[in-house]
Amino acid sequence: MNVLKDSSRTHRYIITDDPYFEGRVVDYAKKISATILPVSELDKVDLESSQSIAKVLFYISRYELEKSHSAFHQYLKMHPSVMCAFLIRAPIDYTGFQALSIEEELFFTNIPDEAPVIFLVKSLINAFTNLQMIVDKFELQKRINVSTNEISKLTRIGISLANEKDFTKLLRDILNSAREISNSDSGSLYLVEKDEKGNPRNLRFKISALDLNSDEFILPINKKSIAGYVAFTGKQLNIPNVYELSGKEEFHFNSDFDKMGNYYSKSMLVVPMKDHHDEVVGVIQLINRKKNFHSKLTVDQLKSDSVLEYDKYSEELVMAVAGQAAVAIQNNNLVQEIETLFEGFVTASVSAIESRDPTTSGHSFRVAQYTVNLAEAVNSIEAGRFKDIVFNPSQIKEIRYASLLHDFGKVGVREKVLVKAKKLEDHELDLIRWRFHFIIKDVEAKLAQKKIEYLKRHGSAGYSQFEQSIQLEYELEKQKMEEMVRVIHQSNEPSILEEGNSNFLEEISKLSYITTEGGQISLLQPREFGFLSIRKGSLDFEERREIESHVEHTFQFLSKIPWTKELKMVPSIAHGHHEKLNGGGYPRGLTAVEIPIQAKMMAIADIFDALTDKDRPYKKAVPLDRAFDILKMEVRDQHIDGDLLDIFIESKVYEKTLHKRLES
């Protein structure tokens, strides 16, 4: 039996059939804090040493689940003190557990084996957090006999806190919920800040119910202040009257806020917010309990019997809210950490793509910015085709990620193809150049031999005229060869191949030369002729197919990421950015009605950036007006959406990004 735990947390278990699990998560042992058991040792879960409910996570493969689900069901039936959840090692879309004998609500999530270990760890922590929330609820219900009204309030608060994504609003909701359930007139909320090593550093004031015009400030975590004392000790304080402290306490009351806000603090309940590791993450400071939460008290009333002391019942209710608040804060932090991690992953991925082709550096970031700007411009449209289309913040983020990662599949394209600037590589062109140089030298040798033979037969008589004719023949041959080399060089450029050059290349490809030694040399090899004959660009059919395959590679890569519901369209949007309205695009040949509007927007941004990007080896950047003309031709050819292009141009969604790039 192996253990990942510390002395402060016991009775948590992970049951697994993964022999490599411990090694994978060993660096996160302190965070996970659980005993690890193989499936065969499930009966070793200690149900006697603690009065707490045992929290058990089953991290098992779909095959073990389908094989042993009946045994698991029987075990749980026989041990009601076990609170469990199942994390299945299976593809994210696996739903086979629905047909098994175990209740569906016990299944927490699927985790593919290829998922990064940080996602596995976060899922385990979240699962234990979820179990802890359930256990806390049961224990709370056993400790106090709350009324139906309080249960309703706690439930509503829990749902509200669990669903709130805006961190500032979450903190305000926590404070307001604690005030409401305890009938407090005012209050404040503080959060613990940690240093780089994860140790508590200070306590930061975040919000006050008095809405004081005060910036955030920090308090040391020590016993001198009331909030600092609670954060330091982890114990709650229930003070009947803060102005009647004996002076023997280790903490003291700071009346500056009363003076600043023309207020009078009397009774005070200060509770720590603790996470499932029993660590303090913040402090809720409640002030002046009253009979009716919605009543407004004057300063004179605050000094009178209208202010009540906090009783035990209020303490327990507030502690319940504090527990939910701590979980909500931790979950919010975990979500932020995951988003930050994923943002870093996306940025690193884009950087990896662009490092393979430095000439396109910044392309993905600019396309993302152009596309997001266009989406925001569409949001402001009040008439026409797009008046009913509104992209919410999650959809804007979805568009941004799809745009950032739209070219990720290029990692699967050979570098020589990806950065190919001309039809033939330098060494291939050098080979042709040396071939013609050799032929010219061989012609020179042949003509020199003719001179020698003339002298042998005729001596010097008439040699001068013969030499001139030989020289003229040499100059003509040399000129013809140099013209061929010039056309070959010109045809090697990725620009459109002229008709005259195309015909001349074909003539050259049919020519061969007989050397002085009797060997035969083709002036152009079939492969060379094939590349030089490319009508436009630098890629032949196979290379272009390889480049185009990046879209499919991108889709396959993005489809393997377990996107959240709000980001589920990222793969589809990226998949469609090279589709054309007339069905002539790739990779699927979709028509206008089949292409997502987000992909249509990205297509415009992609083409625009390619046209206006700084000079690349295979093309020059075009002026803004010329770029718009080309885009309008794309509209006429039914490649891109004309209405979206009009919005793109009229709203100048490109302006800020383009100017920033030009300045840099």
Q: What is the 3-state secondary structure (H, E, C) of 436-493?
A: HHHHHHHHHHHHHHHHHHHHHHHCCCCHHHHHHHHHHHHHHHHHHHHHHHHHHHHHCC
Q: 10 Å Cβ neighbour count for 69?
A: 18
pLDDT digits (tens, 9 = 90+) for 288-314: 999 888 888 888 888 888 899 998 888
Alpha-carbon distance 269 to 318, whole Å?
9
Q: Residue 6's pLDDT is what? A: 43
pLDDT digits (tens, 9 = 90+) for 76-108: 888 888 889 999 999 989 988 888 888 888 999
DSSP conformational letter for 109: E
pLDDT classification of 565: cutoffs 50, 70, 90: confident
The residue type at 424: L
Q: Residue 497's pLDDT is what? A: 63
pLDDT, mean of residues 606-616: 80
- Give the percent of the chain with pLDDT over 70: 86
- Give the percent of the chain with pLDDT over 90: 26
Alpha-carbon distance 142 to 621, whole Å?
73
Return the percent helix, strand and coil in the chain, to nearest 5.
55, 15, 30
Tokens for 120? Answer: 């596995």
SS3 3: strand
Tokens for 584? Answer: 């002539």
pLDDT digits (tens, 9 = 90+) for 21-75: 999 899 998 888 889 999 999 888 876 554 567 899 999 999 999 999 999 999 9
DSSP-assigned states of every residue in 503-572: HHHHHHHH-EEE-TTS-EEESS-HHHHHHHT-SSSS--HHHHHHHHHHHHHHHHHHHTS---GGGTTHHH
Q: Residue 196's pLDDT is what? A: 77
Q: 10 Å Cβ neighbour count for 409?
A: 23
Burial label for 360, CB within 10 Å (0-12, 13-18, 19+), is buried
Q: Are 253 and 242 in contact (CB under 8 A)?
A: yes
Instruction: Provide the phi-psi class of 234: left if phi over 0, else alpha when psi is between -120 and 50, else beta.
Output: left
Burial per residue of 431-463, b for 16 or more beta-carbon CB atoms within 10 angstroms, e otherwise: ebeebbeebbebbeebbeeeeeebeeeeeeeee
Helical (H) or strand (E) element with 300: helix 299-302
Q: How far are the Cα atoms of 183, 185, 296, 299, 463 from residue 302, in angstroms, in the given order?
A: 14, 9, 10, 5, 129
Half-sphere exposure of 275 (CA within 13 A, CB side): 20
Instruction: Provide the phi-psi class of 305: left if phi over 0, else alpha when psi is between -120 and 50, else beta.
Output: alpha
Q: Residue 619's pLDDT is what? A: 61
More confident residue, 304 or 509: 304
**Pairing mode, strands 12-16 and 54-61:** parallel
Q: Residue 553's pLDDT is what? A: 79
Only one residue has tokens 């950032």, namely 404
Only one residue has tokens 């793969």, namely 571
Q: Residue 440's pLDDT is what? A: 87
pLDDT digits (tens, 9 = 90+) for 377-431: 999 888 888 888 999 988 999 999 999 888 877 776 666 655 566 767 778 888 8
Q: Which residues contact 650 (CB under 8 A, 6 or more apart)?
A: none
- Cα of 213 vs its chain's centroid, Å: 37
